[in-house]
Amino acid sequence: MEKDCSNESQDRTWHTSVAGPEDGHIVLLVHGFPLSKRLWDQIIGPLGDAGYRVIAPDLRGFGDSEPASAFSLGDLAGDLQCVLRDVGQWDGRRRVTYIGLSMGGYIAFEFYRRFGHQLHSLVLMDTRAEADTPEAAEGRRAAAQKVLDTGHAGLVADDMLDKLFGPSASPALKQEWYDIMSGTSPITVAAALCAMADRPDSYSMLPSISCPTLVMVGRDDAITPPEGAGHMQQAIGSNANLCVIETSGHMTPVEQPEACANALISWLESL
């Protein structure tokens, strides 16, 4: 069974999709930028049916959340603790599986720094561990300013849309996500761009990741390509596996939902 629930804590309402048995192993699904929990709509059901307690929140400012300004990726990692506790009735003792796509992967590294002992396993999906280059960070800050000046989040959606999807994605799927991205509030888009520009390098900490880790990537991911995913898996070491999903770009859970869900379930069951 899948349901949408909202819970309040620290003056914030968490809009979260939840599925699976309450006593199941907790799997936290963390979306990318400037996306929403709808990224996981077709993954939540199969994981819940496989017996996992699935928790997929809208991050601060995204999806159905209130617009949010001036946050860091560390703040978003802290929010995920609140979501686990308040929505997942998590007691802090059971360890969880964290699955993050792209910016959700950047937040995974912050989560690992702060709460690594709470992780049972980790999926780094269509993401990278390196910080932005100075030029890329500057570009993000300039884009943030432009979005704030114009009040138009669609500027970012215009720029990203073609890079997000592989060549086989349908125009309808791209339009659906264009609408979601451009519907994100400009202040949230600007805050997240600055948070990503400010994020530290996490590549050097990859060898210290000791939990089972799956690095998953779409074969045609133009933003975080398979070559980089392979390097990330090798840097983590023998506890990491690499899974390349065919006929998918950066948006693997919506471009190839069945292959993505099957690969996640087989890997989780192998642990």
Is 109 a residue that touches ligand MLT (CB under 6 A)? no
Is 190 a residue that touches ligand MLT (CB under 6 A)? no
Q: Show the site string, 212-241: x = touches ligand MLT by CB under 6 A, - = not.
A: -----------x------------------
CA gap 37, 57 in Å, rounded:
6
> Beta strand 2-9 with 12-19: parallel, antiparallel or unpaired?
antiparallel
Among 196, 216, 232, 264, binds ligand MLT (CB under 6 A): 196
CB of 139 to ligand MLT, least distance (A): 10
Is 103 a residue that touches ligand MLT (CB under 6 A)? yes
CB of 21 to ligand MLT, least distance (A): 30
CB of 159 to ligand MLT, least distance (A): 10
31 near 104, Cβ under 8 Å?
A: yes
Closest CA to 218 of 258, 183, 179, 249: 249
CA gap 6, 15 in Å, rounded:
5
Measured from the CB atom, the residue of 32 and 218 that comes closer to ligand MLT is: 32
Q: Residue 244 is inside which H or E element, if any?
A: strand 240-245
DSSP code, position 87: T
Measured from the CB atom, the residue of 8 and 176 that comes closer to ligand MLT is: 176
Task: Please give the single-letter amino acid code of residue 53.
Answer: R
DSSP code, position 169: -
Measured from the CB atom, the residue of 55 and 196 that comes closer to ligand MLT is: 196
Enumerate binding residues for ligand MLT (CB under 6 A): 32-33, 102-103, 196, 223
